[in-house]
Amino acid sequence: MRVLGVDPGLTRLGIAVVDGGLGRAVRAVAVDVIRTPADDELATRLLKVADGVEAWLDRHRPDVVAIERVFSQHNVRTAMGTAQAAGVVALAAARRDLPVMFHTPSEVKAAVTGSGRADKAQVTTMVTRLLRLTEAPKPADAADALALAICHLWRAPVRNRMAEAEARAAELAKAHRARLAEAAKSGGRRPAGGAAATPNSRAAGSRAVGS
Amino acid sequence: MRVLGVDPGLTRLGIAVVDGGLGRAVRAVAVDVIRTPADDELATRLLKVADGVEAWLDRHRPDVVAIERVFSQHNVRTAMGTAQAAGVVALAAARRDLPVMFHTPSEVKAAVTGSGRADKAQVTTMVTRLLRLTEAPKPADAADALALAICHLWRAPVRNRMAEAEARAAELAKAHRARLAEAAKSGGRRPAGGAAATPNSRAAGSRAVGS
């Protein structure tokens, strides 16, 4: 699977493509930073971000786009610009029917360093190590984009297994309710299925599939 | 001049087209609300907003796009979504080389009601009156989009006059500095131009043109 990772921003937007296959092996395909001048109009800056990202989508044809989710920042104006850059990236992906996933900074840090509170230097060190790069990616936005793509490759299977487990549990619960209804109709006898027909059946199903 | 006014949002985005000519007369051309389902993915919602706005740009061919500037809201997630919807609208305008202007909510309220702290009902009342509508536009987002377009039509000339005045003042100041330099070269005599060559010349120029 090929992931385009984006650390959004108007002044500097980190962008990276990482391939991941079986197991934990990841390979960096490309990494760079898209910059827009601070004295340009907002609309012009967003257009430059959009054009830059579309060029990457054309060149690298990723299967999925992973974007860092930004909740808040010290500076409200900066946070808005960052959110808008992220929105423009998500729009470009949606126009090509590519799935878009958001990961929080702490999810990204935890994925590559083991700690959600790791600092930038630690993230850069681990990204360099995991991707077996000969030198550390710079600036931090570029390293973050790589970390984000790795995070997506490693978290997506976990998320998918959880979603599958939830769907399976929901099915089991539905079948169980149907059996109960059937039993009620046929005279209030204890439904077939014994132990499965307990209030814990959903959780039990979830555990069985999710483990 | 034809203005497309947008009160950005993901759940409801107010959108309106208003024509303004000589004097203060304004005419509503169209007004509506673009909605996107809250349970859709963010990228899908942004795509729906973008497609909706592009359809309006195609149909109404405005000369300029005016967007409400949102600094902050109670809910950070809502604020981010609103900023992203605004960004997508700005991007659509920039793709067509249309100028994009942002106005704050208090500028909009002040333009149509005379007070930057007017409530929604007051804005709706004044929009209905100024545009001579037979009934009040609903919901509030639609009325806000109309108010925003009116605000732009009425503020743009003021802004342009101020920009012209500043440019003129800068020119005067430059000419003044050139005269001073010339005078210094020719032996430190008092420069020609008398009263104009005072520290107040820039402000005086600004007042003369801006009034």
A109-156 residue pLDDT tens: 999 999 999 999 999 999 999 999 999 999 999 999 999 999 999 987
Beta bridge mates, A11: none
- B196 versus B141: the higher-pLDDT residue is B141
Position B159 scores a pLDDT of 67
Residues of chain B in contact with residue A46, where contact means CB-CB under 8 angstroms, are 87, 90-91, 94
Nearest to B90 by CA among A80, A4, A8, A54: A80
* DSSP notation for A153-188: HHHHHHHHHHHHHHHHHHHHHHHHHHHHHHHHHTTS
- Indicate if A120 and A178 belong to the same structural domain: no
B88 touches chain A (CB under 8 A): yes
A159-172 residue pLDDT tens: 667 677 888 888 88
Distance of CA B91 to the CA centre of its chain: 16
Range in A56-65, A161-170, B4-13 the model is least confident about: A161-170
Tell me the HSE value of B53 on the side-chain side, using a 13 A CA sphere: 34
For residue B204, pLDDT beyond 60: no
Tell me whether residue B141 is one of the annotated catalytic residues: yes
For residue B108, pLDDT beyond 60: yes
- Indicate if B194 and B116 belong to the same structural domain: no
Nearest to B147 by CA among B125, B164, B166: B125
Range in A29-33, A91-95, B153-157, B206-210 the model is least confident about: B206-210
- Indicate if B50 and B22 belong to the same structural domain: yes
- Indicate if B58 and B105 belong to the same structural domain: yes
B24-47 residue pLDDT tens: 789 999 999 999 999 999 999 999
Burial A139-153 (b: 16+ CB within 10 A, else e): ebbbbbbbbbbbbbb
pLDDT-based confidence at residue A44 (cuts at 50, 70, 90): very high
| Among the partner residues B44, B50, B76, nearest to A71 by beta-carbon distance | B76
Domain that holds residue B189: 163-210
- Indicate if B48 and B80 belong to the same structural domain: yes
Interval A5-30 mean pLDDT: 92
Position A202 scores a pLDDT of 44
Q: Rounded to an integer, what distance in angstroms lies between the CA atom of residue B144 and that of residue A87? A: 23
CATH number at residue B45: 3.30.420.10
Count of domains forming chain B: 2
Interval A31-59 mean pLDDT: 97
The DSSP 8-state label assigned to residue B40 in this structure reads S
Q: Rounded to an integer, what distance in angstroms lies between the CA atom of residue A114 and that of residue B189? A: 74
Residues of chain B in contact with residue A44, where contact means CB-CB under 8 angstroms, are 94
Listing from the earlier edge strand, what are the strands of the sheet with A26-35?
A26-35, A12-20, A2-7, A64-68, A100-103
- Indicate if B47 and B102 belong to the same structural domain: yes
B46-90 residue pLDDT tens: 999 999 999 999 999 999 999 999 876 667 778 889 999 999 999
User: Could you give the dihedral angle defined by the CA atoms of residues B88, A140, A11 and B71, in that order, rounded to the nearest 10 degrees?
Assistant: 60
